[in-house]
Amino acid sequence: MTLAEFLRLYPMRASNLMWFLGAGTSASAGVPTAAHMIWDFKRTLFCSAQRVSLRTCPDLSNAAVRARLQAYFDGAGAYPPLNAPDEYAYFFEAAYPAEADRRRYIEQHVSAGHPSYGHLALAALMKLDMARLVWTTNFDKALEDAAIEMLGSSAKLVVAVLETADLAREAINEGRWPLIVKLHGDFQSRRLKNTPEEMRAQDARLRDCLIDRCRGQGLVVVGYSGRDDSVMDALEEAIGSGTQRGYPAGLFWFHRSDGEVFPRVGRLIESARALGIDAHLIAVETFDELLADVLLLLPDLPDDVLRRLSHVARRVSDAPIPGPEGTWPVIRLNAVPLLAWPTQCRRVVCQIGGVREVREAVAQSGADIIATRRNVGVLAFGDDSEVRKAFDARGITEFDLHAIEAHRLRYESAELGLLYGALARALGRERGLKTRRRRTGYMAYVDPEDADREQLAALREATGEVSGVVAGTTLKWVEAVELRLEYRLGRLFLVFEPTIWAEGTEDERVFERRMDFIRERLAARFNPVWNRLLDAWSRVIVGDASETELRAFGIGEGVDAVFRLSRTTAFCWREHR
């Protein structure tokens, strides 16, 4: 089943479809995923065993750091292999054997989470009685907070956790909606389920309730890997046998288009289909994007729902920047506004899979384009002949334009990712910066071979030097900046954070010298230096004029990505009342 087919059927089946949310749905809410926590546990265990500082493994998204940690545990021989089903639970218990410590860890990491666009959109479905029951293995309260905001109070919301398992069945029997059932408890629970023994002994009452409801309703699963045996046992048992089939309204399991499906999930869908259940695996980019698309097919959304989703409250205004005199100082923000950005791109419909296959097709053809994948087709920037060069072999059936709507830039959408790639290319083409993709956004850094050019004068003045070699090593380093695109307050901003980039190494001693050098260079950058750095990088990115235009390709045919940026960073000042 395609996403488009699901979007059409959802309004027809909404009252009979439950939702099941995994950790992936909370990633954009600022809550670490289970995968991130696993690497954090590994780092803690490694550093404590080796008596080294956590700062020696600062970036857990770095492939070299992960390889270093994994090599240690593979060599130890007593730990689950990489990506084993019980990896999260085993390493959590190994790092923090005491339940109280595990509870404190969860609290520290999830209490700062905030509702994402997807949570607010799902809460809107709750308000419209189109999402009555949500099951989740998540500890955070992002969905509860979103529901309370959308419903106007907590009085209409029922939440069942481990200590109140009977409340779930009571609410279902009495038709008290909306209901959120937290299978693993929340971070305040005294019975958090996150060790192997505890997971295998999942609370019987909640498990039986889940099985019972899956036999009477359909289920939509999002952001969940399927690695918990207790949960998967329940979902498999709910399939039934013979004429006693479960999931009467269907079983729809969403997964990342560029990610692998856990084998047990695939077997679950196959078993359900073998019994005639309407069961499907459906590729989607993110939880936020899925929920945004679901709302598109709902007519006549109430004004209060639209108002909460649109975030149009006026909290930003154009105003002259105050001088240094006066009693209310301004706070300079590390963000420059995009005065204009691409509002359309090329759309290609052809026989191709997810984002990974799109990237492979571009690489194999040698086409000079930027492309990604969404359910509506391949989205691309570049010369039309180059776009066709990449996808002609895939049987193009449609070749037209796609509108990049502002609301899709509020979350991790395909369109936002496309703009990231285009802006990175534009900075390389017109500003001579090197760029590389990061876990969130991009990094741009000075080309070590071109560090003496005049355009970097302001940056050299602010930092003393913009490139060099880490003392005692042969590793090159350069000044760099982390880049993020953020749609806030009805505007798109380029957020940049000055940092240092240095070559990687697998030599532990050299690696520690590298990290010490970066820490020492960044440590002395207090407010005056930071202010000069922000100004210098805004000049590097935008130029000396008050605003500039950057083009990813500079072409006349096809669809180019054109950005217009201001050099004046955003400021925050006291609100006048």
Q: What does the pLDDT profile of the chain (577 residues) look like in tens digits?
A: 888 899 999 999 999 999 999 988 988 788 887 788 899 999 999 999 999 888 888 888 778 889 899 999 999 988 999 988 778 888 999 999 998 898 888 888 877 678 988 999 999 999 999 999 999 999 889 999 999 999 999 998 999 988 788 899 999 999 999 999 998 876 666 555 666 555 444 467 888 999 999 999 999 999 998 988 889 999 999 998 767 899 999 999 999 877 789 899 999 999 999 999 999 999 988 899 899 899 988 888 888 888 788 653 334 455 555 555 544 456 777 889 999 999 999 999 999 999 999 999 999 999 999 999 998 999 999 999 999 999 999 999 999 999 998 888 888 899 999 999 999 999 999 999 999 988 778 999 999 888 888 889 999 999 989 999 999 999 999 999 999 999 877 789 999 999 999 998 989 899 999 999 999 999 888 888 888 999 999 999 998 888 999 999 999 889 999 999 998 877 665 544 3
pLDDT at 314: 38
The one-letter amino acid code at 23 reads A
| pTM, full prediction | 0.65
Q: Which residues pair with 357 in a beta bridge?
A: none
pLDDT at 85: 75
- Buried-exposed string 33-47: b where 16+ CB fall within 10 A, e elsewhere: bbbbbbbbbbbbbbb
Please state the φ and ψ torsions of residue 169, each to the nearest 5 degrees: -65, -40
Q: How far apart are CA 22 and CA 32, in angstroms?
A: 12
Could you give the residue ranges of the DSSP H alpha helices within 80-163?
87-95, 99-110, 117-127, 142-151
pLDDT at 312: 32
Please check whether the domain covering 3-29+115-296 is classified as CATH 3.40.1390.10.
Answer: no
Is residue 353 a contact partner of residue 257, using CB atoms and an 8 Å limit?
yes
pLDDT at 426: 96
How many Å from the N-terminal Cα to the C-terminal Cα in the chain? 54
Q: Report the 10 Å Cβ neighbour count for 117.
A: 26
pLDDT at 573: 57
Q: How far apart are CA 504 and CA 315, in angstroms?
A: 42
Q: Where are the domains of the chain?
A: 3-29+115-296, 34-110, 336-343+404-572
Omega within 30 of 0 (cis) for the link into 178: yes
Nearest in space to 569 (alpha carbons), one of 548, 546, 551, 549: 546
Is residue 410 a contact partner of residue 117, using CB atoms and an 8 Å limit?
yes
Q: How far apart are CA 393 and CA 320, in angstroms?
A: 55
- DSSP letters along 338-403, please? EEE---EEEEEE-S--SHHHHHHHHHHHT---EEEEETTEEEEEB-HHHHHHHHGGG---EEEEEE
Q: How far apart are CA 470 and CA 500, in angstroms?
A: 11
Q: How far apart are CA 474 and CA 173, in angstroms?
A: 69
